[in-house]
Structure 1
């Protein structure tokens, strides 16, 4: 028997993580992880959640998402309060823990908000890239102007060279205006406009990213133009008419949907109105057309035409956080930031 001492635990701060993520190919990392998940070379374990109401009446929760990707094992702990905007704070923040694959001892704790935001935007862009040619996208809309909107914009401009206009809407009109001002400065060749309402923003765009904190569905099918793609990143923007009536509905993982008791798509699934990918459509509803691993692998055989309305509804798989965190940890080791064993 070979004696081993416990590995020291490296801590990577938010600033460390941001610097190490700077040149990572996030969209490709996400796509590769989806393909690995399809090959069963990556996976997730059941999530657990602690939910409560804050003293000021906001909904709060702490999620623990265990996962593995290749030789990396760990979990994300992500906490959020819907009342954080009142304090000028991001809705969510958390930690990612990576474990030694041999001893299972923790080897790294890193701030997780940047990775969580990046992998979320990476999933959105990987899905859009699978159904639309990014080189043809000229107008994109954002519902919500918080951290997720900013992170999506960062990745968007690198993958959509023909982008001409970004349309913003936020219930907080001052935040929408300040975001528009900042984005105009960052993107002088792109027109950034603020829509008077959510419907106008969706109707004007070929792709809409919903990145809000709403728990009340409101985006109807007839808001989305022919050939439009609606990426429902946040909780419950897509209304029943859109989820049931769109031409193609994609999700990241069916089991996550069925187990979710808070969002509309999970409610429809448990009510027997939305069926699993590959199953016949329920009489009073529809089936999910495919999961994202199938979509990005090219195995989805039904054509997505220029007139079809597409909805992408990712619930969030911790496997992407672990894959990105493993890449960050590897870069940290290369730079001498990891404590020696």
Structure 2
């Protein structure tokens, strides 16, 4: 679609986005986008980051993630402050801007929090589905019980029907109990247990999903039971022993991991302890098995044994935000949703 400079910009608020996201095949869209990245038909450019400390002493940041997939071009602006819970606000919120592929004119601006959460959970679920299939997940641990846990649970329950038990940990016990009530309400047949320590949850689960705000790695290799998967969504939960000692390690984009100066896996790479997919393992270290496009294509170099422990480290790629936003925008055009904004 090509627009003229005088055409209005379509704005989609959070309610519009939520309605238009309903019933979208999120995991399949993420899966196809990862494969497109692997074929060179989608990708990202370097992101920009602005970080500061609020007057209350909380870490805050604003990220701008440009990306493209097919003939869809745009960027996500996602902001976060760790102190937002005191104001009754979600930790993260933002906007997604889509551009006309011919004129480069902005054509749509939409609230980005819901899409950002969905694409994050969608990447996790696409990776786990590739590793275990639909019937291979029976017990799940959540480290962190906030918004991301809720969205991961939302996608997980529709994708993995064999899940029968959940183990929940959050440093805020009240938040863990609130999430436990929501999980039970969604499916009274499942067993839900809130534990006092993160290790108790990890040791009991075949799949652990870490969605915390920690900046200090703490999950050690010996916490994981044989044959389990650890999805390192929040990126700082997995300790060095886990990243270096797990039998299999997958990332979404190795270049993004290495360029980041704040997360442990990038630091290990710069220290010469971790090499990228397809590279020889360094002395005393390990290589990443494959990126997620390779995993989804079935081209990982080594089979995953029954007792192998696997870590998925999804740094986060703005290309998924653009893919989902493009699907939402198409629905908005078809249904006439949105507010026209004059230029």
> How many pairs were matched up?
340
- Mapped pair 1:135 → 2:135: yes
- Spell out, residue by residue over 1:17-51, the C-alpha distance to the aligned partner (whole angstroms, 9 max, x if none): 00100100000000000000111110101001000
Deviation at 1:198, TM superposition (A): 0.2
Secondary structure of 2:50's counterpart equals strand
Q: For 2:304 and 2:187, how far apart are their aligned partners in 1?
A: 30
Q: Is the 8 A contact 1:268 1:274 kept in 2?
A: yes
TM-score by length of 1: 0.97
Q: Is the 8 A contact 2:3 2:107 kept in 1?
A: no
Structure 1 match to 2:332: 332
Mean CA deviation greater in 186-195 or 115-124: 186-195
Deviation at 1:85, TM superposition (A): 2.3
Q: For 1:152 and 1:19, how far apart are their aligned partners in 2?
A: 18
Structure 2 match to 1:148: 148
Q: For 2:172 and 2:218, how far apart are their aligned partners in 1?
A: 17
Deviation at 1:256, TM superposition (A): 0.4
- The alignment yields a C-alpha RMSD, in angstroms, of 1.5
- Mapped pair 1:231 → 2:231: yes
Q: For 1:38 and 1:337, how far apart are their aligned partners in 2?
A: 33
Structure 2 match to 1:205: 205
Q: For 1:106 and 1:3, how far apart are their aligned partners in 2?
A: 9
In structure 2, relative to structure 1, the CA distance for the partners of 1:3 and 1:167 (3 Å cut) is closer
Structure 2 match to 1:20: 20
Q: For 1:85 and 1:280, how far apart are their aligned partners in 2?
A: 44
Mean CA deviation greater in 296-305 or 52-61: 296-305
Q: For 1:165 and 1:177, how far apart are their aligned partners in 2?
A: 15
- Spell out, residue by residue over 1:252-311, the C-alpha distance to the aligned partner (whole angstroms, 9 max, x if none): 001101110001011111111111111111112111111001111111131112211000
Structure 2 match to 1:193: 193
Q: For 2:156 and 2:280, how far apart are their aligned partners in 1?
A: 35
Mean CA deviation greater in 292-301 or 35-44: 292-301
- Spell out, residue by residue over 1:215-243, the C-alpha distance to the aligned partner (whole angstroms, 9 max, x if none): 00000000010000000000300000000
Q: Is the 8 A contact 2:125 2:156 kept in 1?
A: yes
Mean CA deviation greater in 173-182 or 223-232: 173-182
Q: Is the 8 A contact 2:44 2:317 kept in 1?
A: yes
| Unmatched runs of 5 consecutive residues or more in structure 2 | none
Q: Is the 8 A contact 2:11 2:341 kept in 1?
A: no
Structure 1 match to 2:222: 222
Secondary structure of 1:136's counterpart equals coil
TM-score by length of 2: 0.96
- Spell out, residue by residue over 1:34-78, the C-alpha distance to the aligned partner (whole angstroms, 9 max, x if none): 000111110101001000011111111000000001110000000
